[in-house]
Amino acid sequence: MAGLIVRRFFQLILLLIGISFLVFTSMYIAPGDPAAIIAGPTATKSDIDAIREDLGLNDPFLVQYVRYISGVLHGDLGYSYQTKQPVWEAIMTRFPNTLNLAIASIMVAVIIGVVAGIISAIRQNSWLDVSSTVFALAGISIPNFWLGTVLILIFAVNLQILPVGGLDHPFYTVEGMKQLILPAITLGTGSAAMIARMSRSSMLEVIRADFIRTARAKGLKERTVIWVHALRNAMIPVITVIGLNFGFLLGGTIITEQVFAINGVGRLMVQAIAARDFPMVQGSVLLVATLFVLVNLIVDIIYVFIDPRISYD
């Protein structure tokens, strides 16, 4: 177990180096001279040259990369071209919103997905099963930005019971929860669909296993059999799907934040891409990718804990 964690940890570091290298290189080869962008349209050539020298843009590529990385390790991601604000600061003020949204969505996805999947499995071919299958199919086909818009249309514009957007109250307050409901449903639906499909097929497989027959034979209540014995084993593949979906949701926040005008990292990224604000793009992409691989690592480790049969040797 300890060996696994150590080995995974080294792989993680290699992967992070790869990610940072890729992100840095892509911004390096992107057209447009950063010095000219910072200097503005009225700058003279000597102004631009001075800025370039100042930022060390004349140094060899690898020197610049190493300097960037050591900056990252010290919490320095450079300065935004647009607002001149430190990138780290800009990201960190918005990151809580993104995290809140992602966590709320994964909760929606897991609750709806697992419950729908299990009910489908234990009542196979009933109308509940059919409707849950249809829901799963629709869930992966609905563009989430459109679902968000339609939810706003129904609950904010017509019924006027939930706010149109924004996220400026803490999530534990009533206002904050009201603001999170629609975005979380919007973002969580696609993942709920995938989790439902996985839970259903996994549960169907487990229900037919010998140990479930044994559990029933020794007279356990059906509820105990399903929710204690079967669920625990059926959840193993589901956990992978949940882990994968958490990453998926991190990517999805980019769009959902735009729909609900939530000031998160995703919205920051979209604005930065449109404005070609490279340090900002670099910083936010780096953050999301790092988080994603960290989550994957945690999922892998949890996996071994739940199912001792799995080993990565």
Partner 1 sequence: METGAVAKTDGTPVLVRKKKEKMYVTTLKRLLKNKLAVVGLIIIIIQILMAIFAPWIATHDPVKQNLAESELPIFSDGHWLGTDNYGRDMWSRIVYGARVSLVVGIVSVSLGLAGGVLLGLLAGYYKKLDGLIMRIVDLLFAFPGILLAMLIIAILGTGLVNVAIAISIWSIPTCARIVRGSVLSIKNREYILAMKALGASNARIIFKHILPNCLAPIIVFATMRMATAILSTASLSYLGLGAQPPTPEWGAMIAAGQDFMWTSPHMTVVPGIAIMLVVFAFNVVGDGLRDALDPNMDLNN
- 130: contact with partner 1 by CB under 8 A: no
- 248: contact with partner 1 by CB under 8 A: yes
Nearer to partner 1, 26 or 85 (CB): 26
String marking each residue 252-271 x if it binds partner 1 according to CB under 8 A: x-xx--xx---------xx-
Nearer to partner 1, 79 or 278 (CB): 278
For residues 191 and 105, the answer to whether their CB atoms sit within 8 Å is yes
CA atoms of 52 and 190, how far apart (whole Å): 45
Q: Which residue has the tokens 């697992």?
A: 114
CA atoms of 158 and 29, how far apart (whole Å): 48
- 273: contact with partner 1 by CB under 8 A: yes
For residues 3 and 269, the answer to whether their CB atoms sit within 8 Å is no
Q: How far is the CB of 285 from partner 1 (least distance, A)?
A: 5
Kindly tell me which residue out of 250, 264, 279, 283 binds partner 1, with binding defined by CB under 8 A: 250
- 34: contact with partner 1 by CB under 8 A: no
Q: How far is the CB of 19 from partner 1 (least distance, A)?
A: 5
b/e sequence 254-292, b meaning 16+ C-beta within 10 Å: bbbbbbbebebbbbbbbebeeebbbbbbbbbbbbbbbbb
Residues in contact with partner 1 by CB under 8 A are 15, 18-19, 22-23, 26-27, 29-31, 137-138, 140-146, 149-150, 152-153, 157, 247-248, 250-252, 254-255, 258-259, 269-270, 272-274, 276, 278, 281, 285, 288-289, 292-293
